[in-house]
Amino acid sequence: MATKRSNQSEDDVLLQEKQKIKLKKPNRYKVILINDDFTPQEFVIWVLANVFRKTMEESRHIMWTAHTTGTAVCGVYPLDIARTKVEEVHKLADEAGHPLQCQLAKEEEEG
């Protein structure tokens, strides 16, 4: 099949107009620990250290924040990771017989 050519030599380069593509960062979600009057503080600290990979100092701080204010942010993650963290916390709490709960909240966008 023959192609129609305009007055271009073999060495001509066709330039395409650059399109500016603005990539949007994926939404991020806070995993929020909810205080209860029954789950031992030591268990909460252990969960924070093991599920969220917090240091003992960070874990104690997050636990104490939840204890005194009712809630505390454990971390901020993409949706799939945040859901997995919540499921893991609930599974560990159920296995240990504790009512510990956490939930997701969409992080507010900057700017």
Q: Total structural domains in the chain?
A: 1
Q: What tens-digit pLDDT sequence spans the chain (111 residues)?
A: 555 555 555 555 555 556 677 888 889 999 999 999 999 999 999 999 999 999 999 999 999 999 999 999 999 999 999 999 999 999 999 999 999 999 999 988 755
Phi/psi for 29 (5° steps) reads -130, 135
**Do the domain assignments include residue 33?**
no
Domain assignment of residue 13, yes or no: no
User: What's the distance, CA 53 to chain centroid?
Assistant: 14
According to DSSP H, which parts of 25-109 are helical? 41-51, 56-69, 79-96
H or E, element range at 69: helix 56-69
Query: What is the extent of the structural domain holding 68?
Result: 38-103
pLDDT of the residue at 90: 98
Q: Are 89 and 102 in contact (CB under 8 A)?
A: yes
| Residue 94: inside a domain | yes
Q: Do the domain assignments include residue 71? A: yes
Residue 9 forms part of a structural domain:
no
Residue 38 is predicted with a pLDDT of 97
How many whole angstroms separate alpha carbon 68 and alpha carbon 20?
A: 48
CB 66 within 8 A of CB 101: no
Q: Are 76 and 28 in contact, with CB atoms under 8 Å apart? A: yes
Which domain CATH number covers 88? Answer: 3.30.1390.10
Tell me the pTM.
0.76
Whole-number pLDDT of residue 23: 83
Give a yes or no: residue 18 inside a domain. no
